[in-house]
Amino acid sequence: MSQTKYRTADVDGLQVFYREAGAPDAPALLLLHGFPSAGHMFRDLIPLLSDRYHIIAPDLPGFGQSGMPPRTTFTYSFEHIANVIDRFTEIVGLTRFAIYVFDYGAPTGFRIALKHPDRITAIISQNGNAYQEGLSEGWKPIQTYWQDPSAANREALRGFLAPETTHWQYTNGVTDPASVSPDGQSLDNFYLARPGADEVQLDLLGDYKSNVALYPAFQNYFRTHKPPLLAIWGKNDPFFLPPGAEAFKRDNPAAIVRFLDTGHFALETHAQEIATAIREFLPN
């Protein structure tokens, strides 16, 4: 196990905070977090892998310790975020790397894979969706906003940013809620409460439709390039359903699909199991 370092990279004027661990000459693994979290969601996973891999875990723009520029100067779209993280990988010297994608990290990482298929050595998708059948009924209010981006429909999404919703996301589908640390969700709620963060997050909820529109392109990438792929899924996720994990095998028959008896934030309860699966899956 190597010590985790906490660094900041200047990505064309935007400060991107990241965690780094492991030997620089070891196989690289890029960890991409989801909503409403940040790189701290990997705090238990990184020490379990850093003896074997060079790990980089950035906070996406607008999340965690990374910069959150005003919406007047920075467009909060998944395309823009993916472009920033793509550039970030170049700045920190990643040329060939595996990606661990979760939630928002999936459309971010899959966009990078579309752009640079030669750079991606493998994909671990932990509740990172790329198929229509993976979307649950919980997306209905968000889909309503996609269809009619009115002020009223936008306002209806503010409940997704409430502290009690964050707590629910962390504990829903977990066998024993007492096993979920309050630390991660408390940090998430701190970041969500920053001035302007609510509008940033509402912008991204609205733009998630661009990810769904790219599902056919993502699927074609899986089908054409067939990257080694592990889908390891909290099967009780209220947002991304198990059929979304199983669907990877349709386009990439060699994909490995595993289910864990937990919810959306599977690392909160199953970090050891996920780390073991990654160590079995990725080459040394």
pLDDT mean over 209-226: 98
Q: Residue 107 sits in which domain range?
A: 5-281
Instruction: Give tens-digit pLDDT for 64-115.
Output: 999 999 999 999 999 999 999 999 999 999 999 999 999 999 999 999 999 9
Instruction: Give tens-digit pLDDT for 143-159.
Output: 999 999 999 999 999 99
CATH number at residue 87: 3.40.50.1820
Asked whether residue 257 carries a pLDDT value surpassing 80, the answer given is yes
Q: Which residues are catalytic?
A: 264
**Number of domains composing the chain:** 1
SS (H, E, C) the chain: CCCCEEEEEEECCEEEEEEEECCCCCCEEEEECCCCCCHHHHCCCHHHHCCCCEEEEECCCCCCCCCCCCCCCCCCCHHHHHHHHHHHHHHCCCCCEEEEECCCHHHHHHHHHHHCHHHEEEEEECCCCCCHHHECHHHHHHHHHHHCCCHHHHHCCHHHHCHHHHHHHHHCCCCCHHHCCHHHHHHHHHHHCCCCHHHHHHHHHHHHHHHHHCHHHHHHHHHHHCCCEEEEEECCCCCECHHHHHCHHHHCCCCEEEEECCCCCCHHHHHHHHHHHHHHHCCC
